[in-house]
Amino acid sequence: MPKYHLDSKDILTNDLSLRERLRFLAQEDGFLNWAALEAGLDAMGAPPGLWVQAATALDELAPQVPQALREILQVAAVLGSVPNDLPYHNNRHYRNVMQELIRLIHVHNKNPEAPFPSLNAAQIVTLLVAVCIHDLGHDGAPDPARAGHLEQKSVDLGAPFLRAFGASAEMLKDLEVIVLCTHVADPPVGLSNAAYLKAAVLYHKGQGPKPSLPPMLEPLAQRRDLVIMALLMHEADIAISSGIDYAHTRQETILLAREGGQDTVRPSQILAFLDRLCDGPWRSAASRKLYDDNRATIRAAVQADISSGDHPL
């Protein structure tokens, strides 16, 4: 069973000691070049924690963010640093998603894709908070018949702490929608939350009808800002598994399968993940810029392994 205990001792102080050494990651090459990022982290001898990742990102993306919002984000980073030893949905996963979301915000705000707006400081903070809480309490055992129940659990666990440190009702509602949209597995009836989100993306781009959404996701039909926020978060959540390179995709697939009790993973399962759970192309312009070529290379490598016999990874 995963270990859950809230102990903030050293979580922030140790991270802050790395902050200046991490500043180079806020430069454009650091955001866009995964190999350089990993090399930089290896040279430091330790991965950055959530707070130092977020604090460094704020210095570059939203330097004028009010202190009250910084404190809410700091609390979220402590929550996301609660030790979790699941094979996949663990603290490493939080850090990976945080880094990819920072990259996506950076690219999106440089050239926002119509009709979606650029993100302001408060929206950036909300997204970074979402990363920190998006898998709180994950037990590695999703129930297919209860769409989004683990995502809702994560929101419910984080909300009291965030509210106590000043998070508004509006921020908490946005966080709920964003985190719920990281749910990707199709339930027996209806669609995954991510699929509902993608229908809202098409609607706001004038490429599809107004979607019929579950009550908790209805704000997506009215708010383009919330749609792009949820989309960037969702795509950051699957980026390491499907948008970096084949080595990362293989590793993440094996870890996720192990978490679900599977001992054997084959390349054909990766192809099913790309086609079914990732549901085709990247929907945001930022993800297409960062990951399109990578995913094409990954898909070609997977198909080559299938053609060679689909042997276990």
Q: Which residue has the higher pLDDT, 25 or 247?
A: 247
pLDDT for residue 9: 36
Q: For 35-49, how does the pLDDT look when each residue is reduced to its tens digit (9 = 90+)?
A: 554 555 455 455 567
Mean pLDDT of all residues in 278-296: 91
Mean pLDDT of all residues in 218-224: 98
pLDDT for residue 56: 84
pLDDT for residue 186: 76
pLDDT beyond 60 at 6 = no
Domain boundary assignment for the chain: 11-241
Residue 121's pLDDT band (cuts 50, 70, 90): very high
Decide if 298 contacts 274 (C-beta within 8 A): yes
Looking at domain 11-241, its CATH class is mainly alpha
- Half-sphere exposure for 93 (CA within 13 Å, toward CB): 24
Decide if 136 contacts 151 (C-beta within 8 A): no
Mean pLDDT of all residues in 226-231: 98
Grouping H, G, I as helix, E, B as strand and the rest as coil, residue 86 is: coil
Mean pLDDT of all residues in 273-291: 89
Please say whether the dihedral angle defined by the alpha carbons of residues 172, 239, 117 and 75, taken in this order, is positive or negative.
positive
pLDDT mean across residues, the chain: 84
Percent of the chain with pLDDT over 90: 58
pLDDT beyond 70 at 292 = yes
Q: Which residue has the higher pLDDT, 31 or 258?
A: 258
- Could you give the CA distance from residue 151 to residue 171 in angstroms, rounded to a whole number? 16
**Residue written as tokens 């004028």?**
64
pLDDT beyond 80 at 26 = no
Q: Return the minimum-mean-pLDDT range out of 122-136, 190-204, 275-289.
A: 275-289
Q: For 149-159, how does the pLDDT look when each residue is reduced to its tens digit (9 = 90+)?
A: 899 999 999 99
Q: Return the minimum-mean-pLDDT range out of 14-18, 53-57, 227-231.
A: 14-18
pLDDT for residue 43: 53
Residue 168's pLDDT band (cuts 50, 70, 90): very high
pLDDT beyond 50 at 202 = yes
pLDDT for residue 15: 43
**Residue written as tokens 């990954």?**
298
Residue 291's pLDDT band (cuts 50, 70, 90): very high
- Could you give the CA distance from residue 193 to residue 233 in angstroms, rounded to a whole number? 13
Residue 59's pLDDT band (cuts 50, 70, 90): confident
